[in-house]
Amino acid sequence: MIRVRNLVKTFGNFTAVNDVSFEVAEGEIFAFLGPNGAGKTTTIKMLTTLLKPTSGSIELDGLNPQAKQNEARRRFGIVFQDPSLDGDLTAWENMQIHAVLYHVPHKVWPKRTEELLKLFELWDRRDDQVKKFSGGMKRRLEIARGFLHTPRILFLDEPTLGLDPQSRNQLWSHVKRVNETEKVTVMLTTHYMDEADRVAHRVGIIDHGKLVAQGTPAEIKQQTGAADLEGAFLKLTGNTIRDEDADPAAAMRQFAQMWQQNRR
Amino acid sequence: MSAIYILWLRELKRYTRSRAQIIASLGQPMLYLLVLGFGLGPIFKRAGAGNYLQFIAPGVIGMSVLFSSIFSGLGLLWDRQFGFLKETLVAPVSRIQIMIGRTLGGATVACIQGLIVMIICLIAGFRPASLAAIPVAVGFMILIAFLFAALGMAIGSGLQDMQGFQLIMNFLVLPIYFLSGAMFPLNTDLALPLKYATRIDPLSYGIDGMRNAFGSPNTAFNLSLDLLVLVVLACILMVYGAHRFTKIEV
């Protein structure tokens, strides 16, 4: 379903993604793990047509996303690291806009929206403005929205960041259910190794732009001789802390957090 | 339902739902209208330049349209990182459609804002030459709104952080307002540098156009020149804004 070969992305002298190759089979849940700044988000951006690769090839459901951008975009859904809902609109209206932008026929989307909102336990709140939702509810709505146009692939970039264990658990059980019933391929990134261990069929570990290991969680643990995935991850990527230089987005993220705390 | 329509509708819904914002954005024009309008009025009259309220009302209307339209575009900065923009940028819709939808929405909101200010001006004692003047003035409002919504879109597409926003506010938006002849007449003996600066300010022609339409005193250009400058510039900025918008990297 996803086939990546020798993918490279450089920004000036800096190589963010360095010769990465992997495949994800149909219906699989693939976790893409790595320390901060390892190249996870850059890879996801290239897969989702937001960035042009410097070299290498990508295939999504047999399509080259650079050459056939719009066809490729119809086939995947994405949940970004930062929120992308419209807080002034209601949950229902957010779904409606998505349906229109993804050309979901008018006969189809209201029913599918109802199903998804019920599945993600948001149906009772469908007419409330999204800004009144909790962090977990917003995340669920974003994921429900990602499924609305029945994509073949769903990308989740750190979807559980900042959520409590209850919300995280609930979120993954919903994702797993849709993955099983609709055979949607899921590619996710997360910093919570226990989540990856529980949810993912296979994981890939990336560090300094290079893919250092891939396989089932059990295989990775076996390779490294670690008791759990977190131990394996630390063995593969070392214990040094990656201090990234703050980019404008990070500065704004900090500002947004302050703002949200002050409002509570 | 097309992408352009739904994005336009979104801007309208957001506007009508944020009552606090509507009131807040009316505060500044009101201050200018009431404080300057009534404060400078007597001196303006003593200088033999006529009724200041009649003069400043088009300026205040132009100001509210300028601020509202340009901010709709500058808001891209925030929207790109924490907002809805990303959702539209990965959708299977061309960037041009997204840009048009947003610009139309931003311009429509700016026009509504301008209309509200116009009504308040009428209540405060502003009197246009005739009722027929109002549709012509609204036409100029629409042109101003489009022009600056497109300019905001062009600049907002390239903004990287909040400091950049402050820079644009202080070195572009405020100068555009102050040099536009909204508050002082342009048909007097201005110092040459100031005179040229006011001549290259697009808002000068928008406000002058409204003054021409309303029959306000102290117009600087004639109506057809105002119209020509605004239409040509609005078209250029729409194309430029669309070009910059398609270059956004998330």
pLDDT at A98: 96
Mean pLDDT across the stretch B219-231? 95
Please name the residues between 191 and 230 in chain A that touch chain B, using a CB distance below 8 Å.
none
Q: Could you tell me which of A143, A39, A48 has the C-alpha nearest to residue A91?
A: A143
Asked if B13 has any chain A CB less than 8 Å from its own CB, the reply is yes
CB B240 within 8 A of CB B150: yes
Q: Looking at this predicted complex, what is its ipTM?
A: 0.87
Mean pLDDT across the stretch B4-12? 95
pLDDT exceeds 60 at position B164? yes
Distance from A235 to chain B by nearest Cα, in Å? Answer: 33
pLDDT at A56: 94
pLDDT at A261: 58
Mean pLDDT across the stretch B159-170? 83
Asked if B20 has any chain A CB less than 8 Å from its own CB, the reply is no
Chain B positions touching A45 (Cβ under 8 A) are 250
Which position has the token pair 């339209």? B69
Nearest by CB: B3 against A51, A101, A129: A101
Asked if A264 has any chain B CB less than 8 Å from its own CB, the reply is no
pLDDT at A244: 66
The residue with greater pLDDT, B104 or B188, is B104
pLDDT exceeds 80 at position B82? no
**What domain count does chain B have?**
1
B89/A100 touch (CB, cutoff 8 Å), yes or no: no
The residue with greater pLDDT, A88 or B77, is A88
Confidence of residue B249 (pLDDT cuts 50, 70, 90): confident
Q: Bridge partners of A58?
A: A4
- How far apart, in whole angstroms, are the C-alpha atoms of residue B123 and residue B119? 6
pLDDT at B242: 93
Chain A positions touching B14 (Cβ under 8 A) are 86, 88-89
Nearest by CB: B6 against A49, A97, A253: A97
List of chain A residues with pLDDT < 50: 263-264
Q: Which structural domain range is residue B237 located in?
A: 3-246
pLDDT exceeds 90 at position B145? yes
A100/B6 touch (CB, cutoff 8 Å), yes or no: yes
Asked if B6 has any chain A CB less than 8 Å from its own CB, the reply is yes
- How far apart, in whole angstroms, are the C-alpha atoms of residue A242 and residue A37? 7
Asked if B203 has any chain A CB less than 8 Å from its own CB, the reply is no
Mean pLDDT across the stretch B16-36? 87
Q: Could you tell me which of A256, A72, A31 has the C-alpha nearest to residue A156?
A: A31
Chain B positions touching A82 (Cβ under 8 A) are 81-82, 86
Report pLDDT digits (tens) over B100-110: 999 999 999 99
Chain B positions touching A49 (Cβ under 8 A) are 90
B162/A256 touch (CB, cutoff 8 Å), yes or no: no
Q: Please tell me the pTM assigned to this model.
A: 0.89
Report pLDDT digits (tens) over B93-139: 999 999 999 999 999 999 999 999 999 999 988 999 888 899 999 99
pLDDT exceeds 60 at position B235? yes
Q: Quote the DSSP letter at residue A128.
A: S
Ordered by where they begin, the domains of chain A are 2-240 (3.40.50.300)
Asked if B84 has any chain A CB less than 8 Å from its own CB, the reply is yes
Please name the residues between 93 and 132 in chain B that touch chain A, using a CB distance below 8 Å.
93
- How far apart, in whole angstroms, are the C-alpha atoms of residue B172 and residue B216? 27
- How far apart, in whole angstroms, are the C-alpha atoms of residue A237 and residue B13? 48
- Tokens representing B62 are 């132009």
Chain B positions touching A71 (Cβ under 8 A) are 92
A97/B83 touch (CB, cutoff 8 Å), yes or no: no
pLDDT at A259: 66
Q: Bridge partners of A156?
A: A79, A188
Length of chain A in residues, anyone? Answer: 264
Measured between CA atoms, the residue of chain A closest to residue B18 is: A88
pLDDT at A162: 82
Round the average pLDDT of chain B to a whole number and report it.
91
A71/B82 touch (CB, cutoff 8 Å), yes or no: no
Nearest by CB: B90 against A78, A89, A106: A78
Confidence of residue B36 (pLDDT cuts 50, 70, 90): confident
- Tokens representing B232 are 């040509």
Confidence of residue B78 (pLDDT cuts 50, 70, 90): confident
Confidence of residue B41 (pLDDT cuts 50, 70, 90): confident
- How far apart, in whole angstroms, are the C-alpha atoms of residue B137 and residue B20? 27
CB B106 within 8 A of CB B69: yes
Nearest by CB: B92 against A83, A103, A253: A103
Nearest by CB: A88 against B17, B78, B89: B17
- How far apart, in whole angstroms, are the C-alpha atoms of residue A160 and residue A140? 10
Chain A positions touching B86 (Cβ under 8 A) are 80, 82, 84
Asked if A88 has any chain B CB less than 8 Å from its own CB, the reply is yes
A-B contacts (CB, under 8 Å) = 82
Confidence of residue B214 (pLDDT cuts 50, 70, 90): very high
Distance from B225 to chain A by nearest Cα, in Å? Answer: 40
B81/A252 touch (CB, cutoff 8 Å), yes or no: yes
Which position has the token pair 């300094």? A208
pLDDT at A264: 42
Residue type for B111, please? C
Chain A positions touching B162 (Cβ under 8 A) are 251-252, 255
CA atoms within 13 A on the CB side of B96: 4
pLDDT at B38: 85
